[in-house]
C-alpha cells in the first residue's frame, strides 16, 4: 500500500541531471494557479468544500459531472458557427451553406451599429456597416436573413445585448411571417447587458434602465416562448479582455445573481424563469484548467440557485452553457497554428460538458473567416464528435486527482470574488465603482508582462518565430454591400405607413415612461415598420445614453 504524497516525493523526486535546458522553476495554470508535480487522493477532495468529497454521477446535484446522465451518448452538443457579415442576403447564403455541411444551430453575429442601436445610414454607423456582423435594421432585414430556414426546426442563438429586446421582436415577427408560433421558436438571446459595462462596451443606456429591459424580456418569454432561452450570461468577453478563469466564473455568476434578483423583485417566481437561463463561456488553451472551470461552474451555479434563491425545480439548478474557442489566443503570425489551438480548446469544452460549441477559424486574427475556413472549423467539431471517442463517456476526466483539485481551487477562488462583490452591494454597484474593470485590467497587464518577458510562450509570436505571409485568401467585405444595405433601408422607409409607425413609437414611449412591459410595445413598433434606430432613439430619449463607465 502506498504512503502519502510527501513520502513519495522524498523518495522519488531528485534533482535532474540533463543537457536539456530546464523549464521554469515553478509551474502555474494560465490563470496563475500553482501546480504541484503530482496529485493524489488528498488533493481531490479538500475538506473545506461541502460538495468536494462526493462527486456523484452526471445528472445528479450539484451537477459537477454534467447536467444529463448520459451526456453526449444521447445527442452530441449543438454545433453552432457564429457568423454574419456584409448584408442579410449574403449572411443567409452562409447560413444555408453551413446547415448543408452539418451545422445544427444558427449563431448570429450582428454588426456594431445594430449592437448599439443605430440604423445603417446613421452618421455613427459610417465605416462599420456589415464589417463584424450582419446589419439588421428592419423586419425586412430579418426576413431576408432567415429566408428558407425553418424556424420551427432550427435553433438560433443571437449575440445581442443593448438592443436584445428589439432583435427578439424582429425574430418573433419573422417567425410569424413563416407561420411559426411563439411556442415553436427555440434559441437563445444573449441579453446580458452587465458584461458590456465590464468588458465589451456595446451598451446604449445606463445600467439600471438596461436591467429593466432585460427583466422585461425574462417576463415576456416566461409567458409566451417556452422553448426560448431568455438570457445567455456571458463570461466569454470578460475572459477575452484579460480575466483569469476564476474571474470569468465569479463575474459571470455575480451578474447572474443580479439578473435573478431583479426578476424576483419584479414579481417572477424563481422556478418560472430560471430553467431558461443559460451561460456562455470561453475555452482557452490550458486544457485541464478549462475542463475544471466548466465543472466548477456547474457546482457553483447549483449551490447558488438552491441555497441563495431557494429553487426547487432541478432544472433551475442545472447550468447549461455554450462555449466558443478563444479569439484572443488567435495569432496573425503563422495562422495555421490557430487550427491546433482551436482544436485543443474545443476538446476542453467537450470534456467539460458544453451544450453547444463554436470553433473559431484559422484566419480570424486577419479577417472574417472564409467559407473554407468556417467549414474546417465545423469539421473540427464533427471529428471530435464522431471520431475521437470523447463523446462516448460522460465526464471521462471525472475522478482525476488533478482535475478534482483544480475544480475545487477554481470554485474557492470564484466564491471569494463573489463575496467581495456582495460586500460592494452586488454586481451593478460594483460595476458603477469600476471594480471588475480594474481586476480584469490587472490580470491582463500581468499576462502581457509574461508574454513580453518570454515567461509565457506563444508559439510563433515570442518563440519559434518564422516569417509567414497570410496570403490573399482572406474575406473582404465589398464596399457595395454598405450601399446596398443603405438603399434597402431608405426604400423600406418610403414604403411603410408613417402614421402607423409614429403611433407605435408613441405607444413605446408611454410604456417606457411607465411600468408596462416594453416588449409588446416594441413588437408593435416592429410589425408597424419602425426601424431599429427609431425604436432605440425613443428609449434613449427616456432612459438617457451611457457615455462611459468607471474604470474604463
What does 453-487 look like in DSSP terms, one character per residue? HTSS--BTTTBS-------S------HHHHHHHHH
pLDDT at 43: 83
Q: What is the 3 state secondary structure string of 167-225? A: HHHHHHHHHHHCCCCCCCCCEEECCCCHHHHHHHCCCCCCHHHHHHHHHHHHHHHHHHC
- Read off the pLDDT of residues 414-472 as tens digits, 9 standing for 90 and up: 999 999 999 999 999 999 999 999 999 999 999 999 999 999 999 999 999 998 776 66
Share of the chain above pLDDT 70, in %: 93
Which contiguous run of DSSP H or E holds residue 357? Answer: strand 356-358
- Residue 520 backbone zone (phi > 0: left; psi -120 to 50: alpha; other: beta): alpha
**409 Cβ contact partners less than 8 Å away, ≥ 6 residues apart:** 33, 292
**Strands, E, within 235-341: which ranges?**
277-283, 321-325
Of 534, 478, 484, the residue nearest 508 (C-alpha): 534
pTM: 0.91
Sign of CA dihedral 245, 249, 255, 256: positive
Q: How far apart are CA 294 and CA 284, in angstroms?
A: 12
**Does residue 186 contact residue 227 with C-beta atoms inside 8 Å?**
yes
Q: How far apart are CA 247 and CA 348, in angstroms?
A: 18
Only one residue has cell 432544472, namely: 315
pLDDT at 26: 62
- Report CA dihedral (417, 418, 419, 423) to the nearest 10 degrees: 100
Listed as ranges, residues in the chain with pLDDT below 70 are 1-3, 8-26, 45-54, 470-472, 548-552
**442 Cβ contact partners less than 8 Å away, ≥ 6 residues apart:** none
Parse the chain into domains and list their residue ranges. 71-453
Of 172, 176, 171, 268, the residue nearest 214 (C-alpha): 268
**Does residue 360 contact residue 338 with C-beta atoms inside 8 Å?**
yes
pLDDT at 336: 94
Query: What is the number of other CB atoms lying within 10 angstroms of the CB of residue 394?
Result: 19
- Read off the pLDDT of residues 116-158 as tens digits, 9 standing for 90 and up: 999 999 999 999 999 999 999 999 999 999 999 999 999 999 9
Tell the CATH topology of 71-453.
Answer: TIM Barrel (3.20.20)
Amino acid at each position: 500500500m502506498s504512503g502519502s504524497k510527501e513520502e513519495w516525493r522524498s523518495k522519488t523526486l531528485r534533482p535532474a541531471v540533463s543537457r536539456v535546458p530546464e523549464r521554469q522553476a515553478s509551474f502555474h495554470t494560465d490563470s496563475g494557479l500553482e501546480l504541484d508535480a503530482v496529485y493524489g487522493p488528498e488533493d481531490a477532495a479538500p475538506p473545506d468544500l461541502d460538495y468536494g468529497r462526493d462527486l456523484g454521477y452526471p445528472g445528479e446535484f450539484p451537477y459537477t459531472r454534467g447536467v444529463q446522465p448520459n451526456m453526449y451518448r444521447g445527442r452530441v452538443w449543438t454545433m453552432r458557427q457564429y457568423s454574419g457579415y456584409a448584408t442579410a442576403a449574403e449572411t443567409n447564403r452562409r447560413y444555408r451553406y453551413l446547415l448543408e455541411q452539418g451545422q445544427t444551430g444558427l449563431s448570429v453575429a450582428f454588426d456594431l451599429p445594430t449592437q448599439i442601436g443605430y440604423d445603417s445610414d446613421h452618421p455613427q454607423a459610417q465605416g462599420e456597416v456589415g464589417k463584424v456582423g450582419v446589419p439588421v435594421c428592419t423586419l425586412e432585414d430579418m426576413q431576408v436573413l432567415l429566408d428558407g430556414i425553418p424556424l420551427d426546426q432550427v435553433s438560433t442563438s443571437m449575440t445581442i445585448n443593448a438592443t436584445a429586446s428589439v432583435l427578439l421582436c424582429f425574430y418573433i415577427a419573422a417567425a410569424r411571417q413563416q407561420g411559426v408560433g411563439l411556442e415553436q421558436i427555440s434559441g437563445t438571446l444573449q441579453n446580458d447587458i452587465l458584461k458590456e459595462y465590464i468588458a465589451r462596451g456595446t451598451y446604449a443606456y445606463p445600467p439600471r434602465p438596461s436591467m429593466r429591459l432585460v427583466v422585461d424580456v425574462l417576463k415576456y418569454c416566461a409567458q409566451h416562448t417556452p422553448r426560448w432561452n431568455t438570457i445567455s450570461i456571458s463570461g466569454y468577453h470578460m475572459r477575452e479582455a484579460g480575466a483569469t478563469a476564476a474571474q470569468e466564473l465569479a463575474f459571470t455568476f455575480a451578474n447572474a445573481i443580479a439578473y435573478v434578483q431583479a426578476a424576483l423583485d419584479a414579481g417572477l417566481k424563481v422556478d418560472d424563469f430560471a430553467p431558461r437561463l443559460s451561460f456562455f463561456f470561453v475555452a482557452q488553451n490550458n486544457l485541464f484548467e478549462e475542463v475544471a472551470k466548466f465543472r466548477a461552474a456547474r457546482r457553483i451555479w447549483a449551490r447558488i440557485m438552491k441555497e441563495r434563491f431557494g429553487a426547487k425545480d432541478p432544472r433551475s439548478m442545472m447550468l447549461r452553457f455554450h462555449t466558443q474557442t478563444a479569439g484572443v489566443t488567435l495569432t496573425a503570425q503563422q495562422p495555421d497554428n490557430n487550427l491546433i489551438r482551436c482544436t485543443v480548446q474545443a476538446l476542453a469544452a467537450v470534456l467539460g460538458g458544453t451544450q453547444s460549441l463554436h470553433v473559431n477559424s484559422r484566419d480570424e486574427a486577419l479577417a472574417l473567416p472564409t467559407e473554407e475556413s468556417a467549414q474546417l472549423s465545423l469539421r473540427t467539431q464533427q471529428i471530435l464528435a464522431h471520431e475521437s471517442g470523447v463523446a462516448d463517456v460522460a465526464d471521462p476526466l471525472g475522478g482525476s486527482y488533478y482535475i478534482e483539485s483544480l475544480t475545487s481551487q477554481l470554485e474557492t477562488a470564484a466564491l471569494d470574488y463573489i463575496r467581495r462583490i456582495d460586500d460592494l452591494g452586488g454586481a451593478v454597484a460594483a460595476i458603477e465603482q469600476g471594480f471588475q474593470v480594474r481586476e480584469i485590467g490587472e490580470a491582463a497587464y500581468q499576462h502581457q508582462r509574461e508574454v513580453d518577458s518570454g515567461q509565457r510562450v506563444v508559439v510563433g509570436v515570442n518563440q519559434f518565430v518564422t516569417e509567414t505571409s497570410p496570403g490573399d485568401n482572406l474575406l473582404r467585405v465589398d464596399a457595395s454591400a454598405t450601399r446596398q444595405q443603405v438603399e434597402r433601408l431608405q426604400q423600406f422607409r418610403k414604403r411603410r405607413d408613417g402614421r402607423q409607425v409614429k403611433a407605435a413609437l408613441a405607444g413605446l414611449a408611454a410604456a417606457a415612461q411607465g411600468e408596462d412591459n416594453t416588449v409588446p410595445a416594441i413588437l408593435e413598433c416592429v410589425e408597424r415598420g419602425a426601424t431599429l434606430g427609431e425604436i432605440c432613439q425613443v428609449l434613449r430619449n427616456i432612459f438617457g445614453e451611457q457615455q462611459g463607465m468607471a474604470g474604463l
